[in-house]
Structure formats: C-alpha cells, structure tokens
Structure 1
Amino acid sequence: MQRHLEQILEDMDILRPFALQNQENNAELRSTMRRIIQHVEHLQRTPSITPAHHQSIVTLLAQLLDVEHGMLIKSQHDAGLSEQEQEQLQTHVGERQNMLQAIQQDWPALQIFLNNCQDLLGKTPATNDDLGQQVRGLEKCLREHLYQDGQLRAELNQFINALQGSIGSVLHVLDEVGEDAPELKQTQSILQHDLPDDPIEAKALLQKAREGLVQAGNKLTAASQTMHANMQQQVSQMTDLSSRLEEAEHAARKDPLTGLANRRKLAEFLSSLSDDINISFVMIDIDHFKKINDRYGHDAGDDILSELANVLNNSTRSSDMVARLGGEEFCIILPEADIKQAGVLAANLCQAVSLHRFVGGTHHIDVNISLGVSQKKDDETSATSIKRADQALYQSKKDGRNCVTLAK
C-alpha cells in the first residue's frame, strides 16, 4: 500500500509540467494517467481502506486533475477561433470553473477527511498545515503504520510459534489424565497457518483460537485439581504403607510376646559392636518352666515370660541387649564388660528373680532361673561365645539350678 501511495505522488509530479504546457494528447501523459488509475484500483482492494473512503479519494483526485488542467489551458481568443469553437471553449472553461467551485466547496470536507485519517492512525493533525503538508503528513503516518503493522505481525508470529509448544504440552497433560480437548486441537490447527491479510478475518480467527484456549484452560484446571486429589490420595496411601512397613520391620526384630529383641535383632546388634572391646554373654533359662505350664496353663506361662522380661530389662544397662531366643530361653549381651563383671550381674539377676513375686493368671508363682556366662575371646566368633555360655547354663542345671556358672 505504501509503495502505491508513493507512486501516485510521483505521477502527480509528472503530470504538472505537462498540464502547464497544455500537452493534452501527450502519450506519456496518458500513460501516467493509466498508472495512477491502476494504483487507485489497488487501493480499492486494500482491506484497511473502506469503499466510501476510496470513492472520496477517486472523486477528489479526478476533479483536482481536471480542474487544474482546465484552468491552465491557454487563452485561444487571439487565435482566430470560429464562433462555434469559441462557444465550445467557453462551455469548457465554464465547466472547469464549476468544478473548481465544487472543489472549493468540498475543500473543508477533504481537510476533515485527511485529519480523520491521521487521527485514526494515532497522529494528531496540525491545524495550520496546508493541504500539501497534510497529505505528506498522512503519507508519513501511513508509512509508520505499515512499518508498525509489519512489526506487530512479526511479533505475533513469534508469539504463535512459542505458543505451539505450550499447546502441545497441554494436550499431552490432558491426554495423560484421559481428557479429550478437540477445541485445543482446533486452536492448534488455526495457529499453524498464516493469518489472512484481512484484519477482520484475522481477528475472527484469533477470537476463535482464544475461545479454544479458554475452554482448554478450564479443562486443564479441572484436570489439575483431579491430579492433585489423586496425588494426595496416593501420598496418603504411601504414607500409610510406609508406616505399616516400618511397623512390620520393627515387629520383625521384636519378640511378639515379651517385646524383647529376637534373634534377628540380636545378630544385628552383635554386628554393630567393635571387635576391640570386651563383650560378655549371659544365657538364662527358667527352671522347671514346663511344670508351670502344665500346672497353671500356657496363659499363666506367658505371663511369667512377660514379667521376667521386665525384670531383666530393669536390671541391665541401657547399652546392654536383652533378647528372647525362644521358649523360656533368654540372652543378654554386655558390651564393654568382662566375664567378672558379667558374673556379678548374673548373680544379681538370679537373686532378683528369686525374690520377685510373679503372677500367672490369678496365681502367685515362685520362679527361679539358671544362668551361664562367657566372655568373647579374641580368636572366636560371637556364635562360639554364646555356645560356651549355653554350655555353662546347662552346667548350672546339673548343679541343681537357680545358680550361675562362668564358662572356662
């Protein structure tokens, strides 16, 4: 559009000298006129110029050219024209004068039109400018407008290209949660093609794309809420499962009846101890436990086992490990204690159990224990040390029970 406006202005400059020289039949003049008409017709096809504005431009331009040409025709009165020719000339001049008067009448409307054009383009027109200055000002505004329009289209295309990736990501997210988004796919299809030159059509397509994005955004919000609720539920389930696993892991290391450590926990504790310290072992067995079960019942026997576990725990250090190995057999690991210290502890335990009043069910039951003590040697494993303590325990059984035997 800018190129055609510039060409029209250049052609106007070409016409002026020919009009001044009264060369009405000049071939170059006719060629220039045809070129102006072509450019004016092109303006008619430009979307930003309405038909009414185009008609005003064509009418005023034609009148201006004719009047300017007619008023500059040289006087032919001295050329010996015939009476008929003089009448035709006077008629022609009269017509041109009438056209000039019409232009003078239309001149304010033309100025208003130019001012409105500049105002529509965001340019405040100068009130003191003549018509030529106003036309040149309008031309400058059109050039700036076309330049800005080109920049806007370039930026819009960059935005659309960047938006394509986001649309693809949103479609992927919606597909992951089982949501179909045909309106977003339609928006993606619209944005994949160049926008039409017609601003009305371009606006309609962009409006349609915007509506698709809004609908997809609503679906994405709902999907996000659903995903959040599902994630919260999964986190809750995982937390509950983790707690259960932790409880199961803890239970796997505890004796369910007495709450003492079991063989697995005992082995883990032994593996955590340094080889550079003294470690002593005390093996414990309840004397005549089978008779207690047979006389008072297994529930009473369980009560005795649980109460004995409490006595052992309360009589040892926090650094010691008390474990139930099974049945009525218990083991105590004493880190940083030699066999003499362990023997003293075992004797105190033997006496404490003999003095304690055990209750099994509704019965008071006298309970005694036999104990064997060993200290781990430098050249033996923990299992060997425990075995020696167990052998010392059975020696206590042979020696009459309710006593302590130190392993050799």
Structure 2
Amino acid sequence: MINKALLSTLALILLAITLFPGDTLARYASVVMDSRTGQVIYSRNADKKLYPASLTKIMTLYMTFEALDRGQLRFDQMLVVSKRAEGQAPTKLGLKRGGRISVRDAVFGLITKSANDAATVLAEAMAPTEAAFARKMTEKARKLGMQRTSFRNASGLPNRRQKSTARDMAILGAAMIHDFPHYYNYLSLQKFDYKGKAYKNHNNLLGKYKGADGIKTGYIRASGFNLVASAKRGRNRLIGVVFGGRSAKSRDRHMKKLLDKGFTKIETIYPTTIPTPTTRPLRIALGTSHKSKPAVQIARSNIDTPGTVAAIKKTAIGEGTWGIQVGAFSRADKARSQLNKANRLSNGLLDNGQFNIQRVTQNGTAIYRAQMVGFNEQGARNLCKALERKSMTCFVVSAGTGNLVRVADRN
C-alpha cells in the first residue's frame, strides 16, 4: 500500500507539472528546508544550476548587513550614484549619475522594488567595482556552504555565468534569518515611499499566507518567476524556494502548497508543544563565550528596574544550573556562531554564561543545540525575554534535565 508521504510527493510533482508545463518545467526546481537545522523536507531538482535572477539581491543584502555590523557602512550614509548604476536596466528607482542615496533607501529599494540601480550603488560602496563585489559574493557563498553558486553582478540581471540552485538559495535564506535577526524584519516591508513614489513589495505572500515574513522574488526571461520565502508558525520556521514559475501567481500558489506540506510534516518532527526527552542528550562543552569574564557581583541599587542590564544580571546570578537555547543546527560551528551572535545582541547580559552545545540525533540526523548555561531560573527567563526583544528565538533550558521550557509558561 502506498504510504501518505509518497502520495504527498506525487501530488506535489503533479502540481509542478501542471503549473510549470513544457519548457518551463526544464528550469523548475524547489526546496523546503527547516531553517533551524538545515534539514530538507522536500526537494525537486534541488542541485540543478539555474539563473537566480533577483534572488541574487539576497546575497547583496546579506553583505550589506554584514558591512553595517562591522561599521563599513551606516544606514544614514549617503552614497554617490555612478554612471554604471544609472545605466542599469529596469526594474530600478531611476537614480541619476552624480546623485546621492542613503544606504537605508538603497536597502529598502532592493527589498521592495528590487531596484537594480540601487544594487549597483551598494556594490560599489563595498568594493572597487561591481565585478569585484560579485567575486566577494561568490567567496561568501562558499563560506556559507553554497557550493554550486557563482555570482557575476549584484542585481541578478542576465549573465550566463551567474547560476545558483534551489538548495543553495535555501541555505542563503536561512543564513539571512539566523545571522541578521536584527535586520531580517526589513524583508517583510510591504511598501516603500521614495521621492514621492510608493513601491510595493513583489513578494505577494506577505500578509496573505499565514506566518510569511520574507524573503525575495526574482525574474528574468531565462529564469522564469523565482521566489525564496520564509514562514514561521509556532516555533517552526520553513524556507521555501521555487525556481522557474510560469507566472507570479502560479509560482505563489505552488509555494503555498509546498509550505503547507512542509508545515504538516515538520509538526510531526518538532511539534509546537515540545515533548520532554526521556534521557538527557549528550553534552558537548565548547568553551566560554568570546566575551566571557569572571563572575561579577553587581552592586544592589534601588534604581534597578526589571529589564535593565543591571537588573537582569542580578537575577542571573545564583545556582548557575539553568540555561537558554537560541537554536538548533545541522553543524556545531553554526551553533557556535549563533551563540556568539546572541552574546553580541545581549549587550553583556551573557558574559557570565558558558557555551554548551548539545548533540542529539533525530531520525538519524545529528542536530546541535546552541545553549548558554550557568544562570538561575529567573535569570534565564529574563535573558530569553531580552533576546526575544531583539528578534532572536530563545527557550529556557531547565536545571538537571536539559528540557526546553517556553518563556511564556511562567513569569
């Protein structure tokens, strides 16, 4: 008897054939991935090299956010428009040579209008030429694990050597979410006003599909209609990728079907209500955070209020047997990277904690849980709340058992 999983897969393949007929099917590919672990839930032609079109701009945005974090760029910084930027083909903001645009407006122009002229302006702000920037984009792709991607420009305009895959774009989407949670919310921007014109986001899933909050569309004639989308329901987040849509509407319908099937499946793997493990997972201690300092007794003050750095540090000092978890990943180095990021976002709240990466096996796949331990219960809860205010997912890890506890369970 054919099982339900096989029937679901066959149904998705038939849907793809219906929505992507003839020549369009030859450029079709899709992936649904769990953003936390990198586990692929569904794929079709996942490693086929295709034209990414404006999905390329996800990497341009990734590198812009990286430059903002290290101080190379500022949001209010004004950038000069070059002749090359002015000459980019539509879609664009209509920037003129010698004019100026802020980094913020250029970023928002990429996200909403998918502006090719703004992409070139940003590229030339981060490298001597757009071609040099594209080489850096490809280098970054390799570091992120995008092994079959090559970039030739910052916009995704046609270039026969600019290729990527559905799997690689899913990896990039997940990296954007996990590496820049403090900027990711910009990718849900539905409208951008610039010089008297309103530009609507091309991602039609925003506001129309439950949990959808990014990321980017793309289209050139050689690629068809592409989309990388992310949606979050409960504590589960999926990245969906579709290459080769015949139209924006058919691509969007197909993406919704893929994500629906993905959420149905992931709920059986990671249910929203987290079950209590019967045994504590193997612990892998990988050292202290990069800002670790000896425990410091904070002087009591009657001006400390809940939510201040001093107040949260006070509550975190205690038995030291509780912790927090800020993600689960397919690789230990990704877990470490997320812990470093949490430490940066905490403004010193995690200085007294210790990294603890737990390796667990689920359905034969190794997953590494990114945890910081060494707090008391109330301190761990307050730390999670502080991180969630910075748009980082966080769970409390209970003393002794290592079980996850929802922050909302108790105050």
TM-score by length of 1: 0.18
Q: Which has the higher contact order (CA 8 A, sep 6+)?
A: 2
Structure richer in helix, relative to its length: 1
| TM-score (normalised: structure 2) | 0.18
